[in-house]
Chain A
Amino acid sequence: MEAPPREAGQPVLSLTAISKAYRNGRARVVLRDISLTLTSGEYVAVMGESGVGKSTLLNLIAGLDRADGGRIVFAGQDLAELDDDAMTALRRSAMGFVFQAFHVLPHLSVEQNVALPLLLNGVGRAESAARVAAMLAAVGLAGFGASRPSELSGGELQRVAIARALIHHPPLVLADEPTGNLDPETAAQVLRLLRDRIKAVGAAGILVTHSALAAATADRTLLLTSKGLAPHAPASPIGV
């Protein structure tokens, strides 16, 4: 069962003048004056060198970390006003995650992994089963539901992760270097799938990556530097 696409163009996420510094011996500022607005249906890639704070940015957006300055508004709510439980609830219902190392829970089957967000959001067993089956078919894993993660290849695992990130129709999907552990061909397939699925549900998506090839699958690319977040023009855009 495919959920109806959201109405495009609605603001989903806005970051205003965010800064974040870690104090580790001498102070080291990680993020400075970051601003970003994301509307539903928009898929943005964030590039940057290692250590420039890409993951920190994702953590701030996910509410797993608090910004030192600036404001983050997600789904109309200022994240600074939410306590940990409220933030967790928000993350549970309104966000999806895809990680570089897949992080498919090894002791759960493929369908259990995918169904996890539904379970956490209180979706009934029958509806959950139907949606999981549809989603697995959509990511090309029909028939893999009962498999154990240990039986799957890397590309298949990342498909499971994508399914898990989108099964509960979150308005925002955060993907952190999702193809870092995959070979180029598989990576290309996974990136296409990710983009397709995000677009299919009309969610907003942020793809953090090193790879210009990967970034090229997004609608636009931003470059994260120590000075801030700025639009990035790909040197040689190759359509994928």
Chain B
Amino acid sequence: MSGLRRAAAELLLGELRAHPWPALVGVLAIAIGVAMGYAVQLINQAALAEFSRTVNSLMGNADIEIRGPRTGFAESLYPRIARLSDVVVASPVVEAEAWVPQHKQALKLVGIDVFQAAQVTPGLIGRPSSPRLANLDLLGTDTVFLSPTALASLDLKPGDALTVQVGLRPVTLRIAGALPALGEGLHLGVMDIGAAQWRLDRLGHLQRIDVRLRPGVDAAAFAETLNAQLPAGVIASTPQDTRQGTASLSRAYRVNLNVLALVALFTGAFLVFSSQALSVLRRRSQLALLRALGVTRSGLLRLVLTEGALFGALGALLGLALGYVLAALVLRYAGGDLGGGYFDGVRPTVHFDAESALLFFALGLSAAVLGSAAPAGEAARAQPARALKAGDEEAALAKLRPPWSGLVVVAIGMALTQAGPVSGLPVFGYLAIALLLVGAIMLMPWLAHSVFSRLPASQRAVFHLAYARLAGAPGRAAIGLAGILASFSLMAAMVIMVASFRQSVDDWLQAILPAQLYLRASPGGDAGYFSEAAQRIIASTPGVARAEFSRVSQVLLDARRPPVTLIARQIDARQPGRRLPLVGAALTLVPGDPPAVWVSEAMVDLYGFRTGRLIALPLAGRSVTFVVAGVWRDYARQYGTVALSRDDYRALTGDTHVSDAALWLAPGAGPAQIAERLRHRLAGGDNVQYVQPGEIHVASMKIFDRSFAITYLLETVAVLVGVFGIGASFSAQALARSREFGVLRHLGVTRRQIGAMLALEGALLALLGVTAGLGLGWCIALILIQVVNPQSFHWTMSVHMPWLLLVQLAAALVVAAALTALASGRRAMSAGAVHAVREDW
């Protein structure tokens, strides 16, 4: 038996030596799929680990974290919490995100009471650099301790001055030391809490209280009890809640990337299938010989499967190495957020992870084994006696199955699009796409036969032969066809989805940027603001016809979800559509209605804030009832946005600060000129960011394109894999058809004619493939647009078909297929092929 096994191995090796390309392409595709999946996994793991390390350092060993809106909650809550009998330590925290004008970046500043923090978040206690001033610097009114990462990225050292912007003013702090316990990856500074309240304009307010409980107290139960007594909008949560929130932040995005990786794996599996199917076909007589020599049916099955597994293992190993390198490079040069913007300020490094490596290795292996299963079964089922004779190849693929099973799979896929998300993930949407794809591939032999057998008979030999071939051998045609279908439909779906998204964002930007000049108190962070005096100066500046101010902040509605953005701006309740890109009809308010809010689509999905509903929002520690007067599209924020009239906001909170201004200019006044004027008129006017809608538009589209960069990359890879697949499938077919070519040459068909026939076959096949692919791609795009996106990111978009691009892509693919077919036929048309018709010589 071992001799047999060796003989079998030699046979296979010989085959591999003779036709390495189809197998190699399959291996490469598996490698690419594994690499992508593993890299995405590694990058996310690194980013998440770093992020949760951040959360850990910031929360220390707190049992409970009490958080409120971004603007904070009244500090009087602190003694109330500290006095609770189950509370051992309550550590009050002030937070601000301040702009550092000199270095053009925002810096998170945390104000702590060292005496309390020492027992909860010891990592946040600075190490003074000067032994003489020692611990006093921990309490300094102008001292700050920076994390190593912040020191590095700001290029500062202890003893240097750090100037941050608060309101429109510069506030200069002295760097008194570092925060060595924080290690790498955390970009922040720590001050005394009193100093932070004073210097950062946070007097009277806290952003957080970290609580340690008496041993034995159940933190979750305590938080629940406490929540009933906390002011509106202030929420106690356990670190697990917070961590869960952090992880869920990027989960949908991460899953989307992983699905793309799985698509690559699927393509890989398909390529392995096509290369194996054809190599089994080609080796029919060899395999039959093995059977005749005494290899059992299951032995043969194992043999072909082993071969597939070998390809899979090879590809997976290659993919893991590739993925690791890719992840390292991405983390090094692009950071951990994969263009998604979820992990700002986190600089993780890659760490080999055995568990996910095993997972992706297994995935790669199974893809290849799965791809080999059908050909292996085919090889095992073949009758050795018949297979040993020539001219039997087509029998293997001759069975034409009725389309019912494919149709059923497609129908199930269609039905699944109606299902809702599973824990915030569009599981059924993805499943629907997979089923549509599989169903469509199952339908391909039937489609090929029905279409090609209806082609008009031609008196031109080349056409006649090509048509007959396509109609007569649908099984083979289907292999190439499925490759084209899969790669083109996915490509088309992505192109349609991205184009739709891009166009929708474009339209949206036009709608939300009606003014001619926009002012932001500081380019980043939340410490900059325009005071009432500054607002008056802006509004009264000559050349400013109209000024609208808005206050952007965040409120917390659910401890397990990221905060919701609150925008207080001038909105005409009778015509909210003039300022907000509304989706659907807005509610007409009648006197006596509660104040109105207009919410983003995410609020409807996540919190059920439907138009017409009365909802409660925490403002300034009180719960205020609002009516939802409309829903609008917000592509800028995934976790929900609530817009309300600034008058209502001011009346309810007394908060007069604003963060942004939109200016309509008087005739003849230019935006640049007005910006210059404001720079002089406003104290601290140099710190203000002046932008024109065009710049915002360009910058936003740039961000859009950057966040889709990885998608484009994956798309390109998918196309390349698809083209490789077509090539592999054609050349394998051409090899399998060498006898046919030999006969044709005997019958007096010229080389050119065979070439033309092959090119025509390739082109026709590709044409059918891209046509079907376009239809399928359109369906998949609709699922992406109407199921996956709303369920993952909670926003909708309108469908835009990028016809020109699609036609160009389709044409390119058809030409590529024709050329590939032609190229693959060259070898088959050599003299050797002619001899293939002879049984001996």
A contact residues vs B (CB 8 Å cutoff): 50-51, 53-56, 59, 62, 64-65, 84-85, 88-93, 95, 97, 99-108, 112, 116-117, 119-121, 124-125, 150, 164, 176-177, 180-181
Let me know if B296 is at the binding interface, CB within 8 A.
no
Contact assessment for B835 and A59 in the assembled complex, using a CB-CB cutoff below 8 Å: yes
Contact assessment for A91 and B746 in the assembled complex, using a CB-CB cutoff below 8 Å: yes
User: A95–B468 Cα gap in the complex (Å)?
Assistant: 24
User: A213–B837 Cα gap in the complex (Å)?
Assistant: 24
In the complex, which residues 392-440 of chain B have their Cβ closer than 8 Å to any Cβ of chain A? 393-395, 398
User: A128–B740 Cα gap in the complex (Å)?
Assistant: 22
Compute the total of residue contacts between A and B using a CB distance below 8 Å. 102
Contact assessment for B389 and A101 in the assembled complex, using a CB-CB cutoff below 8 Å: yes
Contact assessment for B841 and A101 in the assembled complex, using a CB-CB cutoff below 8 Å: no
User: A181–B390 Cα gap in the complex (Å)?
Assistant: 10
Contact assessment for B389 and A181 in the assembled complex, using a CB-CB cutoff below 8 Å: yes
Q: How far is the CB of B737 from chain A (nearest CB, A)?
A: 10
Closest B residue by C-beta to A86: B750
Contact assessment for B745 and A64 in the assembled complex, using a CB-CB cutoff below 8 Å: yes
Known interface pairs A92-B748, A106-B472; 7 further A-B residue pairs with C-beta atoms within 8 A, sorted by A's residue number:
A51-B840, A64-B831, A92-B747, A92-B749, A99-B837, A106-B473, A107-B469
Closest B residue by C-beta to A100: B839
Task: Name, among A55, A90, A93, the residue most crowded by chain B CB atoms within 10 Å (CB to CB).
Answer: A55
Q: How far is the CB of B288 from chain A (nearest CB, A)?
A: 15
Chain A residues whose CB sits within 8 angstroms of the CB of B750 once the complex forms: 84-85, 88-89
User: A104–B831 Cα gap in the complex (Å)?
Assistant: 20
User: A214–B97 Cα gap in the complex (Å)?
Assistant: 99
Contact assessment for A119 and B461 in the assembled complex, using a CB-CB cutoff below 8 Å: yes
15 sample A-B contacts, Cβ–Cβ < 8 Å, listed by A number: A54-B841, A59-B835, A59-B838, A64-B746, A90-B748, A91-B746, A91-B747, A92-B747, A92-B749, A95-B748, A105-B743, A106-B391, A106-B395, A116-B747, A164-B747
Chain B residues whose CB sits within 8 angstroms of the CB of A106 once the complex forms: 391, 393-395, 398, 472-473
User: A36–B748 Cα gap in the complex (Å)?
Assistant: 24
**CB < 8 Å: which of A64, A89, A92, A93 contacts B834?**
A64
User: A95–B746 Cα gap in the complex (Å)?
Assistant: 9
Chain B residues whose CB sits within 8 angstroms of the CB of A97 once the complex forms: 746-747
Q: How far is the CB of A155 from chain B (nearest CB, A)?
A: 14
Q: How far is the CB of B422 from chain A (nearest CB, A)?
A: 47
Known A101-B391, A102-B391, A150-B398; judge A120-B749 contact (CB<8 A): yes
User: A192–B189 Cα gap in the complex (Å)?
Assistant: 102
Chain B residues whose CB sits within 8 angstroms of the CB of A121 once the complex forms: 748
User: A25–B650 Cα gap in the complex (Å)?
Assistant: 97
Let me know if B199 is at the binding interface, CB within 8 A.
no
Contact assessment for A107 and B749 in the assembled complex, using a CB-CB cutoff below 8 Å: no
Let me know if B127 is at the binding interface, CB within 8 A.
no
Let me know if B751 is at the binding interface, CB within 8 A.
yes
B contact residues vs A (CB 8 Å cutoff): 389-391, 393-395, 398, 459, 461, 464, 468-469, 471-473, 739-740, 742-743, 745-752, 831, 834-835, 837-841
User: A107–B840 Cα gap in the complex (Å)?
Assistant: 25
Closest A residue by C-beta to B748: A92
User: A133–B473 Cα gap in the complex (Å)?
Assistant: 25
User: A133–B799 Cα gap in the complex (Å)?
Assistant: 57
Contact assessment for B837 and A101 in the assembled complex, using a CB-CB cutoff below 8 Å: yes
Q: How far is the CB of B35 from chain A (nearest CB, A)?
A: 40
Contact assessment for A176 and B838 in the assembled complex, using a CB-CB cutoff below 8 Å: yes
User: A50–B838 Cα gap in the complex (Å)?
Assistant: 13
Q: Which 10 A-B pairs have the closest CB atoms?
A: A92-B748, A107-B472, A55-B841, A106-B394, A103-B743, A91-B748, A101-B390, A107-B473, A88-B750, A97-B746
Chain A residues whose CB sits within 8 angstroms of the CB of B749 once the complex forms: 88, 92, 120
User: A42–B747 Cα gap in the complex (Å)?
Assistant: 22
Q: How far is the CB of A181 from chain B (nearest CB, A)?
A: 7
Q: How far is the CB of B657 from chain A (nearest CB, A)?
A: 79
Q: How far is the CB of A104 from chain B (nearest CB, A)?
A: 8
Contact assessment for A177 and B748 in the assembled complex, using a CB-CB cutoff below 8 Å: no
Contact assessment for A108 and B472 in the assembled complex, using a CB-CB cutoff below 8 Å: yes
Known A50-B840, A55-B840, A108-B472; judge A88-B390 contact (CB<8 A): no
User: A62–B742 Cα gap in the complex (Å)?
Assistant: 12
Chain B residues whose CB sits within 8 angstroms of the CB of A62 once the complex forms: 746
Contact assessment for B459 and A125 in the assembled complex, using a CB-CB cutoff below 8 Å: yes
Contact assessment for B747 and A150 in the assembled complex, using a CB-CB cutoff below 8 Å: no
User: A102–B468 Cα gap in the complex (Å)?
Assistant: 19
Contact assessment for A65 and B391 in the assembled complex, using a CB-CB cutoff below 8 Å: no
Chain B residues whose CB sits within 8 angstroms of the CB of A101 once the complex forms: 389-391, 837, 839
Q: How far is the CB of B764 from chain A (nearest CB, A)?
A: 14
Closest B residue by C-beta to A157: B391
Chain B residues whose CB sits within 8 angstroms of the CB of A91 once the complex forms: 746-748
Chain A residues whose CB sits within 8 angstroms of the CB of B839 once the complex forms: 99-101, 176-177, 180
Chain A residues whose CB sits within 8 angstroms of the CB of B461 once the complex forms: 116, 119-120
